[in-house]
Structure 1
Amino acid sequence: MADFTELNPDKTNPEGISLQELTNRIKRVVALNFASPIWVRAEIASLKTSRGHRYLDLVQKEVETDSVLARVQANLWSGTYIQLSKRMKEDIDLIIKEGQEVLLEVKVNFHSQYGLSIQVVDIDPDFTIGKYFTKKQQLFARILKEKLNEPQKSLQIPLVVQRIAIISSPTAAGYIDFITQIEHVSDRMHIQLDLYKNSMQGSTVENDLIQNLEKIETGSEPYDLIVIIRGGGAKLDLMDFDNYILAKKIAHYPIPVLTGIGHEIDISALDVVAAISQKTPTAAAQYIINKNDEFISRIEIAKLKIAEAAVNQLQEHKRQLERTRTELTHSALNFIREKKHQLAIVKGELLIQSRFQLQKTAETLRQLTREFQISNPENVLKRGFAIFSKDGKIVSDSNDIREGDKVEVRLFKGRAESTVTKTYQS
């Protein structure tokens, strides 16, 4: 270790030491204490990039108050950045980003003209991943404590999903997988797909996603479902979706949200709060297809049941008609037989009545004949009566003749002419 007494000013020299001497002494102290690189834990407060170089603002914060306890600038030169990118399995940009906790191996130098210099020479990705998953578990616990995982689950997803708003990047492999899967069934189901472009990685994810959700909510299109799609990747690829603000926004969103983020082993905070969560974009598309197919199947089953019921009902009506026809035939035959029997009875009665009537009529005719014969003028004349006529007209009233009139008298045999000598009134 350096002898810090060397830094004490020379009290015997009233003019002190020169600035160069001071910086040289600091340089020696730094060189003695930081002869080799050292690992440092810090949070990246800000990050700037220029000509391939990364300039990091490193801070240490108080856990309780989040106040800054220490701050220093560090540099990651482009050559080192390229070497680390080739060596690391994780995407280095997912580690070297604002707000990330990192474990960096740094070289500490001091230059008389440029001051303190901290140069990043290595990065421990496992430290960042561990910190990330610790924060992720804390976030999940907070979501469950505040019951943010419940509101979306209570929303009713339509039986048929036809209008979908997709939040994704048009160049993302996951988006292309989703669209391809839906297009495979375009011949049997029509699904409207509207893309809302969104960055799916980096510092703009949160702002883009909130803006798109608000645009969809205030728009005129009545979407059935919101689908958030992003393909998987490295362990840190999905950290932008492990975001409390986004999780809370989606939890209270009025339209059901379906997530298709990551691979089979991935789960994000958005998956926890969404109405439906599928492991991959392809699985998300298949969920929609299966849901619509289920409705189509229910319709087909209903159609078959209706057709079967119609056939059964038609057959039953045919059987009823056949029974009715048979019953009507029997009834008609019975009716005809009954009427024939009644007609036979009536016929017999009519014959009897007609015979009786004929006999009665014949008797009446005979009686009339007798009366006619009795009233025949010839028969009357034969009994001694005579018929008087005047001027060819029969005289039946004494008022029609006068004394002195000549009348013709018709007798049963022969005629006579007579002169009226006197008339009498009856």
Structure 2
Amino acid sequence: MTYYQESKDASVWTVAQLNRRVSQLLDEHMPVVWVKGEISNFTQAASGHWYFSIKDDKAAVRAVMFRGRAQSVGFVPRAGERFEFRCSVTLYEPRGDFQVQVEGMRRAGQGDLHEAFLRLKNQLQAEGLFDPQRRRPIAPLPACVGVITSLAAAALRDVLTAMARRAPHVRVVIYPAPVQGADAPVRLCQALETAIARAEVDTLLLVRGGGSLEDLWSFNDEALARAVAASPIPVISGVGHETDFTMVDFVADLRAPTPTAAAELACQARADLLDQLGARMGAIRHGMQRHLERASLRLDRAVAMLVSPGQRIAQQQQRLDGLTHRLQRLAGTVPERSQQRLETLVFRLQRNLPQVQPHRQSVDALLRRLQQAGGQGLVLRRQRLQAAQQTLQALSPRLIVNRGYAIVRNAQGQVVQNALDLNIGERLDVELRRGSVSVDVVRAHDLL
């Protein structure tokens, strides 16, 4: 037996150190690669992560696809299906397991289709065809529902069974078209145009059973997606299974996970409608009963207040007799009272008449005194006015100007009294005996 002996300075790695070093080497030197193989041992964890193996006829490797990446795939793969995986090579250090982390996947041989699907999806989304605001509401109580699918499709039987069970009162119109094949998109568009032109249904169901990506590819056609988005009739898509997504699912007014679910979403169950109708009829009966009870009470009160015509006439006759008696009694007493009141008023008037003659003499004397006082006052006021006029004329600046003086005013019309208040270049108005002149200040000085 041969033993290998190292020097004392040689290091010994732990298993953890070894796995960490191998993991670092893979991260640093192994690029992201595409791997083609078949899925086996597929498991979808509660966390949303996918765990499976990728194998071919000679080897297998463990793989993991985390939830964020898995949600962008748009479908759930099944064991035995072949795909192309975009992945990075890693080492799970706790167990030393060699594995790959899948970042994206496409069906083997159908990578171009998947990329075309993503390109069209991004284009239509950028144009606003996926906007929830543009979706039309589904008719809550349709009278007729249209179904666009193949006559031989199992999806049609599922829809008809669900409609017969759930809403047998709703009429169903079928617009047949192939759901698979080269001419399927064109035929589906023609069926949709026929339904729109006939305008006989309240809701359209575009349905098909499950299948592979290539089986469902007709429902990823751009012309069909645009026709569904532009349809004036609300469209419910029910293509494939719950995990399958096609372009019409994104542009339809409502997406159902299966054809049967599409039929259930198109109309309310007959039993539910009957329950609602029964509840409303019960409310109406209760309301009518309450109304009749209140009306009966009002009728009873009205009957209690009702008086027979004979009794009403007797009451009115009695009242008329009383009024007639009062009128006759008042007719004899009113003239006598009026005469007495008139005599009293005449006596009071004569007693209160004024004596005019004594007052007339007094008025004449006052009038003479007023005339004498007025003449004297007028003479005095005329003399005072003349004295004031003489004083005003003596103080008038016009007399001073007539003697050779002048009145100087500034631009504001104020009389200038101090030369030192003026500014050089200021405009002044000078009033003379005859006329006025405008001058500019050239120099100002004090004479004191």
TM range (shorter): 0.3 to 0.5
Larger radius of gyration between Structure 1 and Structure 2: 1
Greater relative contact order: 1 or 2 (C-alpha under 8 angstroms, separation 6 or more)? 1
TM-score (norm 2): 0.43
TM-score (norm 1): 0.45
